[in-house]
Structure 1
Amino acid sequence: MRNTIEKALQKQKEKESKSKFIEPKAPNDAAPVLRQEPVLTTPSATLSSSLEPFNIDLQRLSENGHIALLGERKQINEEYREIKRKLLANAFGALAKTINNPNIIMVTSSRPSEGKTFTATNLALSIASEQDKTVLLVDADVLKPNVLNTLGLERRKGLMEYLTGDVSDISEVLYPTNIDKLKIIPAGKSHHLSTEMLASHKMHETVDEFANRYPDRVVIFDTPPLIGINESAILANFAGQAVVVVEEGKAKISDIKMSVERLNPEMAIGFVVNKSVHHDTDGSGYYGYYYAERKV
């Protein structure tokens, strides 16, 4: 039996091969290649609506403070370039041999509202601009999902529908987007057994396939806050890297220490200081994003 991830890739290849638009390759670290909506020859009756691409409004994201992917230069673009370089080095460089699933990155925080989803989406957008990498963004905050809302997208079936068996194939919740190298799995419906579902063999098997099946793929999990939420500690056992988002002036040292204790000690752990106000030489201020890493 072919594995679920291989089926998903094959279905998307078949769909893309029927598009009348030929995609050029994007230069390294340049704006991602945007797809026109494909014209499919497959009869609509046989094509599941769940395979319709998400159309991300990049102009809206830029106006809301996200990184810009339409050509304009922004300080936040440079900051996320610096962050992703360290994550990619961990995932594909010399350190990768010492980490289990180094290309699986969980983005979390100690407490709610510190900016973890903002950070996760920006990292995914930035990595999607790489010439030789693809990125899968998974909303694993099944208690309070926010990825689709942050990106301005409508709700669809997602991870929980797959884990509960409401959909039989991961391809039914693995959505392409109008950004060539970015795919999204939403959180899906809420479920009273979400902890057990995320800890299941099915979830473990799926993450392993994400990690090992495609050598160029980075998987970013937007996970719940670490303190008081069991789901995050479970997901930490799957990921090779953790990005802990810390809001300057709000996060407590005791909370940060407690968060680290809930992570897998074998992980590479980095910290993004969010909403940090700095001043340029002309006296104007901006919000900065700084990345520091705890060596394993």
Structure 2
Amino acid sequence: MNDRKSNTGSLKDSEEDQPVVGDDNGNHPEDGYWLRSRDELNKEGVPYSEWDDSRMLVPSSLELGPGAVDRYVISKQIVRMQEPRRLTADDMDERRIIYPESGNRAMVNRFRDLRTKLLEASGGNNFTIVVSATNRGAGASFVALNLAAAFAFDQSKTAVVIDCNLREPSLHSTLDIMPETGLTDFLEDPDYDIARILYPTGIPRLRLIPAGSRRETPSEFFTSFRMKQFLQAVRRRYPDRFIVLDTAPITESPDARILSELCDYSMLVVPHGRVTPNQVEQAATAFNPQKFVGTVING
């Protein structure tokens, strides 16, 4: 990813993304992550899962002013986030997901470099970013997942990747997760508990929000006021969380354009050697130029 003056980046040695088949209770704030048993109910009568990190909600400096959030305490909370399962190195390699000890240093370093450039653009603040592609098979899901994984490398940061490709969701398959609910279920029900759609990925400090069970009219979900509220709430209440939205190709659906207006940044994934410069330019100009941070060449 380059700066906005040059909208062509490079992500060599990567292939197209191929989905793998497959307190209220007397707790001190520094205890951070509160474990709950599956049978314990919250105030809505919904069981808490073992990995429920929605209990980490804290006011942010956006709400209370600069310096209001003790980031040291937040970092201690993040370190103690529970992982009910862990993907092994072999699992990560098979799924082509980066991790700090990966032998594929070229791919790890390229995503780290991408992360660094985005942090420079944001002034080091957490943000929401839409990742879309010029066409199907370009690898937007691959880039979105690994970018989120790169942010989660930092033990004081967390990331969540949201599968907003409602027509062809793939992230749950790549991570070998069988979700019962997801984003659309949350958007349809104003009383839905966010804990029910946050899934552990097996990667430390990285969570997945899958597409959901109802996906007939994607644009209606994304233009809803509840979607706007959802993104604002997640960003404001998780001051150290980076949010990556994986969307359908910008040339095939209005979803990416709609979501980019709700997010801080947007990024375009281009398959190497499979589209013309004119096609890339047309796809890039579909985004708001004030939010467009550049392109990533995948292939």
Please give the TM-score of this superposition, normalised by the length of structure 1. Answer: 0.71
The alignment's C-alpha RMSD in Å is 2.9
- SS at 1:80 equivalent: helix
Change (3 A) 1:238 1:43: closer
The answer to whether 1:193 aligns with 2:217 is yes
What is the identity percentage for the equivalent residue pairs of Structure 1 and Structure 2?
25
Q: Which moved more, 1:223-232 or 1:262-271?
A: 262-271
Partner of 2:93: 62
**CA deviation digits over 1:97-141, x for unaligned, max 9?**
xxxxx7111111011100110111111111101133211111111
Q: Secondary structure at the match of 1:129?
A: coil
What residue in structure 1 maps to residue 169 of structure 2?
145
In the TM superposition, what are the counterparts of 1:274-289 in structure 2 within 5 Å? 274-275=298-299
Measure the CA separation in 2 of the matches of 1:50 and 1:181.
14
Q: Which has more strand, going by share of residues?
A: 1
- Tell me which residue corresponds to 2:186: 162
5+ residue gaps, structure 2 = 1-22, 42-46, 53-82
SS of aligned partner of 1:219: strand
- How far does residue 45 in structure 1 lie from its aligned partner after superposition? 6.2
Aligned length: 237
Q: Which has the higher contact order (CA 8 A, sep 6+)?
A: 2
Partner of 1:210: 234
CA contact 1:56–1:153 (8 Å) conserved in 2: no
Which secondary structure state, in structure 2, belongs to the residue aligned with residue 163 of structure 1? Answer: helix
| Offset of residue 62 of structure 1 | 1.1
Alignment of 1:1-296 (within 5 A): 16-18=33-35, 42=37, 44=39, 46=41, 47-48=47-48, 55=85, 57-58=87-88, 59-70=90-101, 72=103, 74-93=105-124, 103-165=127-189, 168-275=192-299
- Unaligned stretches of 5+ residues in structure 1: 1-5, 19-39, 97-101, 276-296
Distance 2:97 2:249 in 1: 21
CA contact (8 A) 2:38 2:50 kept: no
- TM-score under structure 2 length normalisation: 0.70
* Alpha-carbon shift at residue 147 of structure 1 (Å): 0.8
Once residues 183 and 278 of structure 2 are traced to their aligned partners in structure 1, the CA distance between those partners, rounded to angstroms, is 32
Shift of 1:151: 1.9
Looking at structure 2, the residues matched to 256 and 54 of structure 1 have their Cα atoms a distance apart, in angstroms, of 41
Provide the secondary structure at the position in 1 that maps to 2:173.
helix
Residues 54 and 144 (structure 1), Cα distance of their counterparts in 2 relative to 1, 3 Å cut? farther
Residue type of the alignment partner of 1:44: D
Task: Verify the 8 A CA contact 2:271 2:298 in the aligned structure 1.
Answer: yes
Q: Which amino acid aligns with 2:263?
A: A
Q: Distance in 2 between matches of 1:122 and 1:216?
A: 18
Native 8 Å contact 2:102 2:108 kept in 1: no
Deviation beyond 6 Å, 4+ runs, structure 1: none
